[in-house]
Amino acid sequence: MSTTHRVLILGAGYAGLAAATQLAARTGKADVQVTLVNAQERFTERLRLHLTATGQRVAELDIPTLLAKTGAHFVRGWVTAVDAHAKTVRIDDNRVLRYDTLVYGLGSVTDTAAVPGVEEHAYTLDGVGDATTLADRLARLGGGTVVVVGSGLTGVEASAEIAEQHPELDVVLVGRQDPGATMTAKARSHLRAALARLGVRVISGTAVTKVLPDGVELVGAQTLAADVVLWTAGTRVSPLAAAAGLTVDERGRVVTDPTLRSVSHPDVYAIGDAAAVRQGYGVLHGTCQSGMPTGVHAAVSIARTLRGKQPRQFRFGYYHTPVSLGRNDAVVQFTHPDDSPRRGCLTGRPAVWYKETVSASPWPTYRRMTTMPSSGAFWPRGGRFTRLRDDAR
Ligand SMILES: Cc1cc2nc3c(=O)[nH]c(=O)nc-3n(C[C@H](O)[C@H](O)[C@H](O)COP(=O)(O)OP(=O)(O)OC[C@H]3O[C@@H](n4cnc5c(N)ncnc54)[C@H](O)[C@@H]3O)c2cc1C
């Protein structure tokens, strides 16, 4: 009987790729088989999809090439089912993959089901394909109105980018909250001034109730005409974890224990946007800055467990919110570990440089981790902010 321990990682997003490179490097010579499953061979840089959506070129990053010398296997395919009892995963071509330890990192996508008409009439920024389709449409418009729904940071970045790259278009940003609502007054006013300078019209304090073929309907039945609607409001996760019987939260995310293992299935680790990870300040919200550490931590924990040690508690404190405002401006809000704003922020050119450095950093980090795993194991642990009370452990 084989003694090889099979670790199957689902999803090669920011978190899954961190787990795969880290684990392959830590277990290279041991009897461990690491397999990474993902829908595409190309790594989706979600942080740069607003560039793709406005016709700007970004690098094509190939996952199998990254993993080539690591000993990890790459399987391209769409996961259709997880059988947590039999410890198998089914792929869309009917292949069945077996695991001893599963790392669940299938990420999140835009919630297109929350409001009628989004699925049929709105564009999204879920992948390179979606973003390219939008870029083609924007390039052909020649004039007209683009409504960006969702005044969170994705909506802000997308509306600024569209307005800057397409000055011939009227861009309207619609959402419940004021853009930059979670920032200090200084950072927020910089963000609002940048949107105004780019000609983005902001309508906040309202919600879109329906997307129509030629516009959107707002609360109170008022309508707003649009040639293109981009939907960035809210995300949802894959239903596969819930269908497999893993304990999930009200949003379908896998509920983890303090070490990132599923509370119902300890042979499953959950990472990134697909996981509900509790810290002292609350449950992590989906970001790349927290997603990559969850992947690294899961890998370190698996490596420890295979050496007969106990996995350690995961702790993470936020440190920044970098937001691009087109190619020539940005704002970076520094934060406390619980993501509340500190007084300090960067604006203008220093912020552009900072944001670009952050967006470009994941791929070199993965590359470095394939030979130097400890180089990826640094992130702020968050001190007293992240400490779990005894009743939450
Ligand atoms: C436009 C945009 C801008 C953003 N900007 C920022 C930012 O500036 N800073 C920040 O911190 N966060 C940002 N985010 C959020 C950040 O991108 C996510 O938190 C991060 O991508 C989560 O990483 P992940 O690995 O959990 O999931 P993902 O990156 O979503 O990766 C999941 C992977 O799993 C694959 N997958 C999913 N389902 C299946 C399946 N059934 N079978 C096979 N493969 C599957 C997907 O194709 C994908 O490759 C942004 C998000 C968007 C959409």
Average pLDDT, the chain: 95
Label the pairing between strands 79-83 and 88-91.
antiparallel
Q: Residue with the nearest Cα to atom 47 of ligand 1?
A: 39
Q: What is the pLDDT of residue 265?
A: 98
State phi, psi for 292 to the nearest 5 degrees. Answer: -60, -45
Q: What is the pLDDT of residue 390?
A: 58
How far, in Å, from the CA of 110 to the mean position of ligand 1? 10
Bridge partners of residue 333, in order along the sequence: 321, 345
Contact (Cβ atoms closer than 8 angstroms) between residue 325 and residue 48: no
Mutate to test the pocket of ligand 1, among 14, 294, 333, 356 (most ligand atoms within 8 A of CB): 14
Q: What is the pLDDT of residue 261?
A: 98
Q: Is the CB of 156 under 6 A from ligand 1?
A: no
Q: Is the CB of 154 under 6 A from ligand 1?
A: yes
Instruction: Please give the number of the atom of ligand 1 that sits closest to the Cα of 14.
Output: 25
Q: Residue with the nearest Cα to atom 20 of ligand 1?
A: 288
Q: Is the CB of 180 under 6 A from ligand 1?
A: no
Report the distance separating Cα 194 and Cα 331, nearest Å.
Answer: 10
Q: Is the CB of 321 under 6 A from ligand 1?
A: no
Question: Which pTM value belongs to this model?
Answer: 0.96
Report the distance separating Cα 336 and Cα 382, nearest Å.
Answer: 8
From 246, 295, 304, select the one nearest 273 (Cα to Cα).
295
Report the distance separating Cα 30 and Cα 306, nearest Å.
Answer: 9
234 three-class SS: coil
Report the distance separating Cα 298 and Cα 312, nearest Å.
Answer: 10
Give the neighbor-by-neighbor strand order of the sheet with 208-212: 208-212, 215-218, 223-225
Q: Between the CA of residue 314 and those of 9, 149, 237, 317, 371, what are the distances in Å?
A: 18, 34, 22, 10, 23
Bridge partners of residue 261, in order along the sequence: 269
Buried b (16+ CB within 10 A) or exposed e, 290-317: bbbbbbbbbbbbbbebbeeeebebbbbb
Contact (Cβ atoms closer than 8 angstroms) between residue 313 and residue 301: no
Instruction: Please give the number of the atom of ligand 1 that sits closest to the Cα of 287.
Output: 19
DSSP letters, 311-364, are PPPP-----EEEEE-SSS-EEEEEE-TTS-EEEEEEEHHHHHHHHHHHHHSHHH
Q: What is the pLDDT of residue 380?
A: 85
Q: What is the pLDDT of residue 33?
A: 96
Ranges under pLDDT 50 in the chain: none
For 315-329, the pLDDT digits (tens) are 999 999 999 999 999
